[in-house]
Every structure is written in C-alpha cells, then in structure tokens.
Structure 1
C-alpha cells in the first residue's frame, strides 16, 4: 500500500512576525527541505506540500520531487489545507500528515510510525504526554478527518471523536516534538 506524506505549509506565520515558516533556515537549508526529506526518506511514496501565504516564494524553494498544491483559501484556517492535501493524496492507501514547523522530524521517526501503523487505526506519535507528528491515517480516515475539520483545528476533532481507534505510539526517544510558532521557538532551529 502506498503512502502520501502531506506537509501543511500554508500559514502566514503571524505569531512569528509574518514570515514563511517553510523558508526558515535549518541545517543549512530551508526548514521545508528537512520536513520533505524526512517524509521521503522515511517511506512516503509521494510528498505533497500544501501552500497558501507566500505560495510563490515557497514553491520556488520546494525540492523538485514534491507535489505542490496551492490552497487559495488558506486564510480560513488549517482545515482548508488539510482538505486540499488529502484530496491530492487520493491514489494512496495511507497518509502521513505533518506540519512544516516541526524541525525535529527525521526519516527514522517517519519510518517508525509508518512501520507501527495498523490498518483500521490512526497512529498518533506522542512525545512524553504531548501528541505530535506525523499522524498516520488510512486514506478513508484522512478523508473523514478532513471533512470534519473546521477553521484552524486540523484533524483534532476527528482524533477526539475516534479516541478508541487512535493508537498512541511513544516516540519520545526519536525526536524533539517542539514546533516553531513564536520568535522564542526559533531556538529549536539549527543553523
């Protein structure tokens, strides 16, 4: 069964002073490259990047082997980007969903979550007691999560409603789950 990795990268970075998180420098390249490389090297057959704000600049910096999807409704919230990404992943049986502002993602983490995923469940990596990414869905569950999402919540409502089917996978030893939301979070980036 093939897997699509979906990177939600459409936001305007307003809490970060209004800049594209995807283009933040990390390990000598844009953060977007860290995330897409981890998905591809971790076992995703296709990597889909959903863009919105700064779409032209970020698209120009995208690795050539990713599928770029532009969400013209990005300002209505993450739910619209989730729907665009899942719609673009229609030919895949499994979806690995992540956000672009997760510098701790590695191929090892992605590979572990994909390997441990069981059909009929949603695999949610947890870091200590904190849920994180990439969340792995069977395609039908990804579609349902996208349909139920509203505003800026992403897949949270679906995960809460399907709590008995969500498999929490301890990944504490595999990554720092911190994301980049504010200027104070920039310390998580490696030069």
Structure 2
C-alpha cells in the first residue's frame, strides 16, 4: 500500500532558544536524518518534510528520499504544517505522520506501526501510557484531520472525535517516548 511519511519540521524551536529542531545533532548527524531514514527504512515510499521557520536550512539538510515542502504560514501553528504535508502526500493511500523531534523513532517502530494499521482506523503507537509517533492515517482521514485542524493542535481534535476508530498499538519494546522541547531534553538527546 503506497505510504508517505510526513515530518512536521516547521517550528521555530522557541523553547530551545530559537534552534531548528531538525538540525539538532543526534548520533553525529542532524536529527532530521534519523527521522527520515526511519520512515524510509520502515516502509514509507517517500517522505515529505514540512519546513517553515528555518526553511532553507532544513530543506538543504533533507536526505535522499525526502522532499521539503515550504509552509509560509508556519507561525499560525502546527495545523498549517499538517495541511501542507497531507496535501503533498495526497496521491498515497496512507500517511505516517511524525514530528521531527521524536528521536526514538526507528525503522522497526515504523514497520511495526504500518504492519498493525488496518484500513478505516487510525493507528497510534503508545509507549506505556504515552502516545507517540508515527501516527498512521488512511489518506481520506488525513485529509479530514488536516482540514479540521486549527492552531497548534495538529490532528489531536480529529483523534479525540474519532476515539472509537483509533487503534492503540503498544510499542514500548521498540522505542522510548519523548520529544525534544527543553534544554534538558536536548542534553538527553546527545
């Protein structure tokens, strides 16, 4: 089933002193490379990276297999990035959606979540009690979620309204939950 990975990487990193999260060092390379390679290695046919605040720098750092899509409205919140990413992936049957600051993502995690996905559901990886990424949507649901999203919520309201269709898949043995939002998270990342 044709699958696009979507990486939301348009933010300005305000909680990290204005640093591009996509370019943070992770195991000797930009964090963006870790995320894109996990999506491609886990079964995505292509990866769309939505860029904004640091658009030129992040686009230049996109590895092979990833296409940068510029979101000129990035400062209006994550919902605008979701719309741009899903629109760029609309020719695929499903999407695997993630934020760029999820360093625990691996090809095994992506593969597992894609394998567990069933048409008509939204597949949400969970790590203990914590939801994580990537979230897998059929393209029709992704388009609806993007259309309904507002502000900085991303797909959260769609997931809440469609709780009965969300398949929670335990991925605790495949990765650690957590993203990079604070200087302490950054120290843990290295």
TM-score class, shorter-chain normalisation, is over 0.9
3-state SS of the aligned residue for 2:95?
strand
2:2 alignment partner in structure 1 = 2
2:89 alignment partner in structure 1 = 89
Q: What is the alpha-carbon distance in structure 2 between the residues aligned to residue 55 and residue 150 of structure 1? A: 22
- Are the aligned partners of 1:103 and 1:188 in contact in 2 as well (CA < 8 Å)? no
1:29 alignment partner in structure 2 = 29
Q: What is the alpha-carbon distance in structure 2 between the residues aligned to residue 98 and residue 184 of structure 1? A: 21
3-state SS of the aligned residue for 1:186?
helix
3-state SS of the aligned residue for 1:19?
coil
> What do the CA deviations read for 1:143-181 (whole angstroms, capped 9, x no partner)?
011011110000000000000000000111110111000
Report the CA distance between 1:188 and its aligned residue: 2.9
3-state SS of the aligned residue for 2:37?
helix
With normalisation by structure 2, the TM-score equals 0.99
> What do the CA deviations read for 1:95-134 (whole angstroms, capped 9, x no partner)?
0000000000000000000000000000000011111100
Give the aligned length.
190
2:55 alignment partner in structure 1 = 55
Moved more, 127-136 or 58-67: 58-67
1:123 alignment partner in structure 2 = 123
Moved more, 32-41 or 177-186: 177-186
Report the CA distance between 1:55 and its aligned residue: 0.5
Q: What is the alpha-carbon distance in structure 2 between the residues aligned to residue 184 and residue 177 of structure 1? A: 15
Q: What is the alpha-carbon distance in structure 2 between the residues aligned to residue 127 and residue 65 of structure 1? A: 28
* Match runs of 1:101-116 below 5 Å: 101-116=101-116
2:171 alignment partner in structure 1 = 171
Report the CA distance between 1:50 and its aligned residue: 0.2
2:134 alignment partner in structure 1 = 134
Runs of 4+ in structure 1 deviating by more than 6 angstroms, as ranges, are none
Q: What is the alpha-carbon distance in structure 1 between the residues aligned to residue 188 and residue 169 of structure 2? A: 23
- Are the aligned partners of 2:119 and 2:138 in contact in 1 as well (CA < 8 Å)? yes
Report the CA distance between 1:189 and its aligned residue: 1.3
Q: What is the alpha-carbon distance in structure 1 between the residues aligned to residue 60 and residue 46 of structure 2? A: 19
Q: What is the alpha-carbon distance in structure 2 between the residues aligned to residue 60 and residue 160 of structure 1? A: 36
3-state SS of the aligned residue for 1:7?
strand
Gaps of 5+ in 1: none
- Are the aligned partners of 2:40 and 2:65 in contact in 1 as well (CA < 8 Å)? no
- Are the aligned partners of 1:99 and 1:133 in contact in 2 as well (CA < 8 Å)? yes
1:162 alignment partner in structure 2 = 162
With normalisation by structure 1, the TM-score equals 0.98
Tell me how large the CA RMSD over aligned residues is: 0.7
